[in-house]
Structure 1
Amino acid sequence: MDVLLGQIKQCTICVDHLPLGPNPVVTAHPESKIVIIGQAPGLKVHNSGIPWDDASGKRLRSWLNVTEEQFYDTKNFAILPMGFCYPGKGKSGDLPPRKECAPQWHVALLDKMPNTKLIILIGSYAQRYYLKDRVGATLTETVSNFESYLPEFFTIPHPSPRNRFWLSKNQWFEALVVPKLQKRVHDIL
């Protein structure tokens, strides 16, 4: 695992497409129990090098009902974004994650984590990539059907403050789904 993570840290596969250059943000351990697959690091995370070190991470930890210490213990959680580096700014937020990372690195990383009990797919990029033809027509459909992807996957929206409209429109998520997510995480940890 250390060799693989070292190779990822040296990755330059999409260097020409990254406005701030490569800075892969990924964490994993052979004993990781839960894998979190999100989008890509934002600017704050790019600068700190700490995954989910922002408002989105704070909300995610709340949804999981875990402390920072639990969250950053790689024996508990591996963090594999779809794109490992900050993709740059777009018109209405960050650009989509680069498409090179997941096919290049995810299988190798997941193969080295045989104790994984759950993969949390955050947002439509991760959900489309991993669920393929099982993904719903919309993010809302995929998240509302989360139980159909268990026990391997748990589907949730992105915890970004930018998603406040979706969360206010879909209050069932925090009322009904988050408690089930918390129980699943608690049972595994």
Structure 2
Amino acid sequence: MSRLNYQAARFLTSAPTLAACPADAGAEVAFAGRSNAGKSSAINALTRQKALARTSKTPGRTQLINFFGLDDTAERRLVDLPGYGYAKVPDKVKLEWQRHLADYLRRRASLRGLVLLMDVRHPLSEFDQMMLGWADEAEMPVHILLTKADKLKRGAAKGALQQVRSRLREWEDLVTIQLFSALKKDGIEEVHARLDDWLLAEPR
């Protein structure tokens, strides 16, 4: 059983830059992924809410950093980072997103961990590797969700998991990996356990 009540999650605010984020206190975990990796669906499945994180038929709509509080004081938060790499936006805007993402990951003191979502059929894209590089620089633990696991047969999904594990062996002290399906609600308890570990830990 999860120790935090993820169903109690509620929207707090959206911020275009690090300066506009809520006070850098308490503990938060950020979710990142390419715009078509199923990030919003995963957040909704984890909180058992249908529309906490807005899902869009046009990937890449989330261009703001969205904060969700898990308790009355919002001392513990989930953070939905801008989807990246699929949206039809000018390169200048994409570079701006990258700058704000890097800024947030490097400088946010209350950030305890990063959940990085990858489509199980297309893992370790250029964006994923860039995020892992930033996390490595910041010594930030990362939990990878290989999403849409229901799209593959069980054997193929496990094979994809092993392949990603072996490619990330050099990062095994920082990175954990699991299969996840928002549609079938598979892997939710495992994610809750990881979030509990991060959000309830004493500050570093």
Asked if these proteins are the same fold (TM beyond 0.5), I'd say no
TM-score (ref. length: structure 1)? 0.43
Select the structure that is richer in helix: 1
Higher strand share: 2
